[in-house]
Amino acid sequence: MRNVMNFFYNQKVAPYVFVLPFVLTFLIFFIYPVLTTIQMSFQEILPGMVTNVGFKNYERLLGDRIFRTAITNSVLYTFWTLALLIPLPLAFACMLNSRSMVGRGFFRATLFLPVVTSVVVAGTIFRLMFGEVDGSLMNTIRAFFGLGPIKWLKVRQTGFVAMVLMALWRWTGVNMLYYLSGLKGIPPEMYESAEIDGANVWQKFWHISVPLVKPTIIYVLTISIYGGLAMFTESYMLWAGNSSPKNIGLTIVGYLYRQGWEQNRMGYASAVGLVLLAVAMAINLGQLRITGVLGKEGD
């Protein structure tokens, strides 16, 4: 027993013992599933029968109109959520970080409350808000301005507005807290010095807050890209299922779910999943390169 303890306390062995749980978790829950998915993407999998089909699944993807619709929906959804969920939470965080802000604790709790709300509950509430009956919230607002009711979730443009607004409502508080943690690390003396030099609020925000909170912005951007491309549950709950009119709410993950679980085409669904992984990695690596996290060789 003593020899075993001495082995684990050895300075050369101990670091490997500490990292072993992470390595095992990474291999079992990431590398192994990815390798298995790659293998399955070249197969046709039916109950009790597995057939190697080569690149047939990928060839089918190239001509799949619904798959292209799902890709387009996911990319557009990601774009609009990034356009809102990067700057707005940062602006809220700067306001809540100001010492002159009244009721900071109340507004922090209010903005964070949607995060702890179940996506099932949130999706149901938004489905009722954007309902097509006269008494739904959005149609009531239209009636106030003398406009007639519309079928929000049966039209592509208004359906997309509902999805983006739901994302904005749910995730603004999370991103705001990330930004607040970054802003707390900025010494107050920097703002005081800028005020002495005559800097206004916008100049302090643009020349002090944004540059010093850049690592947090990059982190929020990275997780928001992943969250946008991986969105599924929100759309599923908003349309009470994975079948929206003319696939206006179908995302790439929703299409993967449809092919793999609803239609029992696990091989084809594996190919869809790998395309999603490739798209997410390409976009994130691109933005990390643009933001300077991944530098050029020789820099």
Instruction: Name the pLDDT band for 10 (thresholds 50, 70, 90).
Output: low
Q: Quote the pLDDT of residue 169.
A: 92
User: What is the predicted pLDDT for the residue at 128?
Assistant: 92
Residue 116 pLDDT: 86
Cα–Cα distance measured from residue 168 to residue 218, given in angstroms and rounded to the nearest whole number: 18
With contact defined as beta carbons under 8 Å apart, do 162 and 151 qualify? no
What's 43's DSSP letter?
E
Segment 59-117, tens digit of pLDDT: 999 899 999 999 999 999 999 999 999 999 999 998 888 877 788 888 888 888 888 88
What is the reported pLDDT for 8? 59
Residue 7 confidence (pLDDT) above 80: no
User: What is the average pLDDT score of the chain?
Assistant: 88
CA distances from 115 to 54, 119, 169 (A): 43, 9, 9
Tokens of 246: 């003319």
Question: Which among 176, 170, 172, 181 has a CA at the least distance from the CA of 115?
Answer: 170
Q: Please say if the pLDDT value at position 122 is more than 80.
A: yes
Q: Both tokens of residue 106? A: 């109340």
Alpha-helical runs (H) found in the chain:
2-9, 14-26, 32-40, 56-62, 65-85, 87-97, 104-112, 119-129, 137-144, 156-184, 188-196, 201-204, 210-212, 214-229, 233-238, 252-257, 266-290
With CA atoms as reference, report the closest residue to 182 among 153, 215, 160, 149.
215
Q: What is the mean pLDDT of residues 46-66?
A: 89
Q: CA-to-CA distance for 115 and 173, rounded, in angstroms?
A: 7
- pLDDT over threshold 50, residue 299: no
Query: Whole-model pTM?
Result: 0.86
pLDDT band at 298 (very low <50, low <70, confident <90, very high): very low
Rg (CA), the chain: 24
Decide: helix, strand or coil at residue 52. Answer: strand
Specify which residues 46 forms β-bridges with. 49
What average pLDDT does this structure show over 31-51?
89
Tokens of 135: 């008494």
Number of Cβ within a 10 Å radius of residue 90: 24
Percent of the chain beyond pLDDT 90? Answer: 50
Distance CA 160, CA 157 (A): 5
More reliable by pLDDT, 117 or 271: 271
Residue pLDDT, tens place only, 142-166: 999 988 889 999 999 999 999 999 9
Of 31, 24, 27, 1, the closest CA to residue 16 belongs to 24
Torsion angle of the four alpha carbons 131, 132, 138, 139, in this order, in degrees rounded to the nearest 10: -150
Q: Would you give the DSSP letter of residue 297?
A: T
- Tens digits of per-residue pLDDT, 193-238? 888 888 888 888 888 888 999 999 999 999 999 899 999 999 999 9
- Largest Cα–Cα distance in the chain? 84
